Structure 1
Amino acid sequence: MSTPKTPAGRRVGRPRAQERPAGGPEPRDEVLLVAGELFTTHGYTATSTRSIAERAGLRQASLYHYFDGKEAILAELLEGTVRPSLEVAAALVSRTEASPEARLWALCHSDAALLCGGPHNLGALYLLPEVGTERFADFHRLRSELKSSYAGLLAATAPGADLAVEELALRADLLFGLTESVILIRRADPDRDPGALAGATADAALRVAGVSPRSLARLRREGRELLATRL
């Protein structure tokens, strides 16, 4: 659907169904917030663009000023669960003064905290059958890049350096899957403390990586220090 433009080339949406309160989220962000809630509580298939627009205080036609349909909204929500972790991963990879084990702990903790934080369990949307289609190729590309960051940090650890290629790939898959398992834990127990869950997940990840239990307290402390600084 094309959108009219002003002479300066700026796209113009249709009037909002309701005026947005001062200081509230921008309309595009509001659409994402509402869609995240509806997709995770009512279901993706059962949620229409009309219902999203109405909850966001927009006319349905105005929603298409920001997104070209429901799949585009879902794609943005999915990609938004990965991009912040990719940024953290890139920063941690560059922090070569810290041990790879501590950096791996920090990445697992940050990623798990993102997935089990926030008002809605957006990670549960990974399980939708629609997400397997080509429309969501960008999401899968970003997710593969993030998993590669896990594999790179794992390979740099002392245990990882001794692993064969096949074993290293398997451990990386296990680490990544372990981190994403917080999605299912949160779905089963929505009241679980996100901080405690992220910490336990990062601890378990280092055990999967082959780190000695005697080193865990030190690496946990170093990992927290990394996250406390500006990555």
Structure 2
Amino acid sequence: MTSAGPGRPRKQQPVRPGATARDEILDAASELFTSQGFANTSTRAIADAVGIRQSSLYHHFGTKDDILAELLDGTVAGGLAFASAVHGGPPPSDPRTAAARLHAVALYDGTQLCNARWNLGVLYHLPEARAPRFRRFMDDRRQLRQLYRELGQTVEEFAPAGPQGASSCGDLLFRLVESLINLRADGLVGADSALETADAGLVLAGMAAELDEVRAMSAGLIRKFG
């Protein structure tokens, strides 16, 4: 449903971005969950932040867990779709093409984490996020991590081992990208943080000399699949 039905009037004019009341609820919940915590946020507080009655919120989401599930799913969905598209393309025939695929996935994923309106990645650390209710999010996150690993393994076939060994670059880069969540929480993310993180993974894989060309090819993949 995209709007409240009869008998569920809004207390005030919309104050949140979003095309629908549901979008506004998600935006308010995002702010409150990331600023004061999931457990400390009530559905009444979310409704008040949107300017609707609490009963209207339940018209869109049955429980607070339902809101969290949609927010968690949204943090992974875009990166997973992009990584799947890149991974499903023609197999690389040289080290630069292999590295560009991994670089593009990390850059796209990191950019989403850095530029989203709210730093929803902090919700990954919630104990609630490990509950069976949120299995789809956990499955999607595991799938995204596996794609990083497989793209990294392709780099390993071509690249000389760096200080950490190219065989670990996919999983290492996944961890580096997710570290942007904590850096953002500490106010340490800048305009180039996602690019610097993607670059770092390739440098550790022994691809420093090819980095300029890899960056250009990575940008092309983002234009194509992003």
Q: Same fold (TM over 0.5)?
A: yes
Cα 1:24/1:151, change in 2 over 3 Å: closer
Kindly state the Cα deviation for residue 27 of structure 1 after the two structures are TM-superposed. Answer: 0.5
Counterpart CA distance in 1 for 2:137 and 2:181 is 17
Counterpart CA distance in 2 for 1:173 and 1:229 is 24
- Residue number in structure 2 paired with 1:55: 49
Counterpart CA distance in 2 for 1:212 and 1:169 is 13
Counterpart CA distance in 2 for 1:90 and 1:158 is 19
Cα 1:160/1:179, change in 2 over 3 Å: farther
Counterpart CA distance in 2 for 1:24 and 1:108 is 28
Where does 1:123-138 land on structure 2 (aligned, <5 Å)? Answer: 123-138=121-136
Aligned length, in residue pairs: 216
Q: Percent identity?
A: 39
Provide structure 1 residue ranges, at least 5 long, that are not aligned to the other structure.
Answer: 1-10
Of 24, 41, 44, 2:38 maps to 44
Q: Deviations over 1:108-145 (max 9, x none)?
A: 00000111112211101111121121111111001011
Describe the SS at the equivalent of 2:86. helix
Kindly state the Cα deviation for residue 75 of structure 1 after the two structures are TM-superposed. Answer: 1.2
- Residue number in structure 1 paired with 2:147: 149
- Residue number in structure 2 paired with 1:223: 218
- Residue number in structure 1 paired with 2:195: 199
Counterpart CA distance in 1 for 2:77 and 2:222 is 17
Cα 1:130/1:150, change in 2 over 3 Å: same
- Residue number in structure 1 paired with 2:85: 91
- Residue number in structure 2 paired with 1:26: 20
> Under a length normalisation based on structure 1, what TM-score does the superposition of the two structures give?
0.83
> Under a length normalisation based on structure 2, what TM-score does the superposition of the two structures give?
0.85
Cα 1:63/1:174, change in 2 over 3 Å: same
Describe the SS at the equivalent of 1:44. coil
- Residue number in structure 2 paired with 1:181: 179
Report if the CA contact (8 A) 1:154-1:172 is conserved: yes
2:69 aligned partner, one-letter code: A
- Residue number in structure 2 paired with 1:8: none
Kindly state the Cα deviation for residue 222 of structure 1 after the two structures are TM-superposed. Answer: 1.0
- Residue number in structure 2 paired with 1:4: none
Describe the SS at the equivalent of 1:189. coil
Counterpart CA distance in 1 for 2:91 and 2:172 is 26
Kindly state the Cα deviation for residue 168 of structure 1 after the two structures are TM-superposed. Answer: 8.0
Kindly state the Cα deviation for residue 19 of structure 1 after the two structures are TM-superposed. Answer: 4.3
Counterpart CA distance in 2 for 1:92 and 1:61 is 43
1:89 aligned partner, one-letter code: A
Describe the SS at the equivalent of 2:192. helix
Q: Deviations over 1:70-117 (max 9, x none)?
A: 111111111101000111112212332762210110000000011111
2:9 aligned partner, one-letter code: P
Kindly state the Cα deviation for residue 212 of structure 1 after the two structures are TM-superposed. Answer: 2.4
Cα 1:161/1:202, change in 2 over 3 Å: closer
Counterpart CA distance in 1 for 2:13 and 2:152 is 50
